[in-house]
Chain A
Amino acid sequence: MDVLPTEKAGSGFQVRASAVTPDARVLDAESRAWLRDLSGDGPARDDAVARLHSLLLRAARYTLSRRRAAFPHLRGDLEEVALEAADDALVALLTRLDSFRGASRFTTWAYGFAVLETSVKLRRLAWQGREIPLEPEGWLSFADPGTGPAGTLEHGELLDALKDGIEHALTPHQREVLVAVALNDVPIDVLAERLGSTRGALYKTIHDARRRLRAHLDENDLTPHTSPEGDA
C-alpha cells in the first residue's frame, strides 16, 4: 500500500494518508477553499485556523455526547475534554495537512481527527485510577448456544479448547493483551498507555494472538465459523 511516512498525532496515533488517490474525483469547492486558506499565511490563514478549531470543537462535543453514555460513572462537565481534544486534533491535522488527498470532503477528514482525539481521551478518563484486569474474568459471560445437550457439549469443548489455547498457545504478552481487551473490556488505548505501547502495536499483538488461537482450535477440529472466508 502506498502511504506517506507516518507522524504522531496528539493521541499518539500514527496518521497516514489515504491509500486511495481520487484521480477521477474533483475536489469539491469547499474542500479547495479550506486547503487554500490553511496553506496561505497572514490573517486569512489565522481566520481559517480559528474556523477549523471551531469545527473540531463541535465535532469533539458531538463525540462526547454520543459516547459518554457508555461511561455512566463519568460525571460533571466534560467541556475541558472537548477543548483539549479539539486543540490536539488541530495540531495533528495541520501537521498532516499535506496528506489530505481529497478522497473525502475536507470536513469529514477533519472530523476524523476530532473523533479520534475525543474518543481516546474519554476512554482514558473513564479508566483513570482503575486497575487493569489482566486475568480472564469473562468466561462466565459466554452464552451457551442453547441448542440442546449436543450444542452444550460442543460449547463446553470450545470453551475448554479456548482456555487451553490462551494458556498454552499464546506468548505471555499476547495472553495479557488479548485477555485484557477481548475478555475484560479494557479499551485498547488505555492498555497501550499503561504498557507504554501504541494502539497499532497492541492491535498487531491481538491479531497475531487470534491467529494462534484459531490455529489451536483448528488442531482440535473446533473452528467456529465467524465468517465464510479464511483467516488473514
Chain B
Amino acid sequence: MDERLRRLLGPGRPELTCEECFAELPRYVELELEGKEHDSGSDSLDARMQAHLEGCAACGEEHAVLRELALETRE
C-alpha cells in the first residue's frame, strides 16, 4: 500500500498511546536487540506497541534512533 495512504488510514489494529509507547520503548528495544520474540498475541502489549510504531511517525522515528543508540553503546 502507498505509504501516504497507510499514514492516512493507520495500522487498523489496537495500539498504544504515545505516552504508553514512550514508557515501553526501552524494554521493547532491548527485546529486539536480544533477538527475543515479542509477545505477538493480537491484543498483547507488544502487538499494540508494534501497531503504534507503524501508525505514529514521531514514535517510529524515536524507536529507530533509540534502537541504534542502544545497539551502538552495548557493542
Contacts and interface: CB of A to CB of B under 8 A. Distances in A.
Contacts of B61: 67, 119
Interface of A: 1, 3, 6, 13-20, 59, 62-63, 66-67, 99, 103-105, 107-109, 111-112, 115-116, 119, 123, 138, 141-143, 145, 158, 162, 178, 181-183, 187-189, 199-200, 203-204, 206-207, 210, 213-214, 217, 224-227, 229-232
A contacts with B: majority SS: helix
Contacts, number: 152
Interface of B: 1-2, 4-15, 17-20, 22-27, 29-30, 42, 45, 51, 55-58, 61-62, 64-66, 68-70, 72-73
B62 A115 contact: yes
A203 B27 contact: no
30 contacts: A3-B23, A13-B19, A19-B23, A104-B26, A104-B27, A105-B26, A108-B26, A108-B30, A112-B22, A119-B58, A119-B65, A123-B58, A142-B4, A142-B5, A143-B2, A183-B4, A183-B7, A188-B56, A188-B58, A199-B18, A200-B17, A206-B10, A213-B9, A224-B1, A224-B5, A226-B1, A226-B9, A226-B11, A230-B13, A231-B12
Given A142-B4, A210-B10, A232-B15, A116 B22 contact: yes
B22 A138 contact: no
B contacts with A: majority SS: helix
B51 to A, nearest CB: 8
